[in-house]
Amino acid sequence: MIELKSTIKNIIKYNYIKQEKKQQTIHIGYGIDNNFARCCATSIASFCINNPKKNFYFHIVINDFSEINKQKMQLLAKQYKVNINLYEIDISLLEKYNLPTKTHWPISMYFRFILPLVLDSVDNLIYIDADIFCLNNANDLFNIYLENNIIGAVAEPKEEYCKRLGLKNHLYFNSGLLIIDIIKWNKYNTLEKLLYNIKNNPKIFQCPDQDALNLILTKNIKYIPQKFNWFNWSNTWTKETQKDIILIHFGSNPKPWHSTWYINPHCNQYNINIYKNYEKLTPWKDEPLQVPVKRQDIRCYSNWLIKHGKILKGLKWYLKYLNTKFNKQK
């Protein structure tokens, strides 16, 4: 797996932590492409705002990152006086493994596997999906003890997934939030086992990275409370429960930075403005909302417009959907 460590072709460091700060140092990692730059930055800002006395080192494995987004990441690091390291990856080395990808599951989902290899001088890492945001003080998260386990994660019970993977007496977990003991991860050859299983069992993996983690680490996980990875599709969201949520995971589509966020069935009075309120405290504050570009998102938006009486606008978007569908078939 030394070869995969060399996938990092360049490291860009924006270091602004004040040396006199002697508070706890927290290492947080992300894996993104250019499409998730703004929400990753907003996630970072949410941690800094709710935990102002922490030394944060943010480690972001990136692919196809624009120069303007690199500049904005530097401004973000300077704004909150934290360290942000950007790890530019040579995607061709990962592609050699023929890892499965889908429209909503780009190759960047595998970047989380590489972080423990690159950060082998760090004891513990908190990996976060870029659509997860901190709502309150996260001291309880930062102080979780993994005992003899390799990772900590929140259960997302799915019996059908366990059955498909052949797992018994296992609680399926969501990989959007992972507390990783890097020493144990590397000693267990976790990366090698993950890639081997994904490559050799592609038919049983519907969510390749997450399924593989569940399969490989079924005996090496510490389950942690849901408040550390609260899914926005939860039906128990109230003003009171929001006070107890540490990390909110906007896992469903459309996302809060999309112009179509309001048509998401899980968008409600409690979460509609959470993302916007944090993003306006980043260098992306003037960024316009993203319009639908993926074929299924365009069709979903078209259907919603027509259903709500906006026929002409809905038909216009349906024509865009047909155009993308036709072009794909060429």
Cβ-proximal residues to 146 (8 Å cutoff; 6+ apart), any chain: 124, 152, 179, 181, 222
| 196 plus 318 within the same structural domain | no
Q: Which of 212, 230, 248 is the last residue of a domain?
A: 230
Tens-digit pLDDT profile for residues 27-79? 999 999 999 999 999 999 999 999 999 999 999 999 989 999 999 999 999 99
In a domain, 190, yes or no: yes
Query: How much is the average pLDDT of 182-187?
Result: 96
Same-domain pairing of 324 and 216: no
Which amino acid would we find at residue 45? A
Tell me the CA distances in angstroms from 219 to 43, 114, 169, one per residue in order.
30, 21, 10
Residues 307 and 173 in one domain: no
Q: Is the dihedral of CA 279, 78, 63, 183 positive or negative?
A: negative
Tens digit of each residue's pLDDT (9 = 90 or more) over 102-124:
766 788 889 999 999 999 999 99
Residue 251 pLDDT > 80:
yes
Average pLDDT value for residue range 278-295: 92
Segment among 80-89, 98-107, 147-156, 165-174 with least mean pLDDT: 98-107
Least reliable range by pLDDT among 134-143, 239-248, 274-283: 239-248
Q: Which residue has the higher pLDDT, 2 or 65?
A: 65
pLDDT at residue 149 greater than cutoff 80? yes
Of 194, 212, 230, the last residue of a domain is 230
Structural domain boundaries enclosing 308? 292-330
Q: What DSSP assignment string belongs to 216-259?
A: HTTTSEEE--GGGSEETT-TT--HHHHHH-SEEE--SSS-TTBT
251 belongs to a structural domain: no
User: What are the tokens at 65?
Assistant: 């990152």
Position 1 pLDDT exceeds 90: no
Cα distance between residue 144 and residue 194, in whole Å: 25
Specify the higher pLDDT residue, 328 or 265.
265
Q: Are residues 195 and 311 in the same domain?
A: no
**Domain assignment present for 37:** yes
**Could you count the other beta carbons within 10 Å of the beta carbon of residue 330?**
4
125 within a domain of the structure (yes/no):
yes
Q: What is the CATH number of the domain that holds 201?
A: 3.90.550.10
d(CA 29, CA 27): 7
Say if residue 160 is in the same domain as residue 70: yes
Q: What is the mean pLDDT of the chain?
A: 90
- Of 230, 250, 275, the position where a domain reaches its end is 230
Greater model confidence, 101 or 7 = 7
Number of domains in the chain: 2
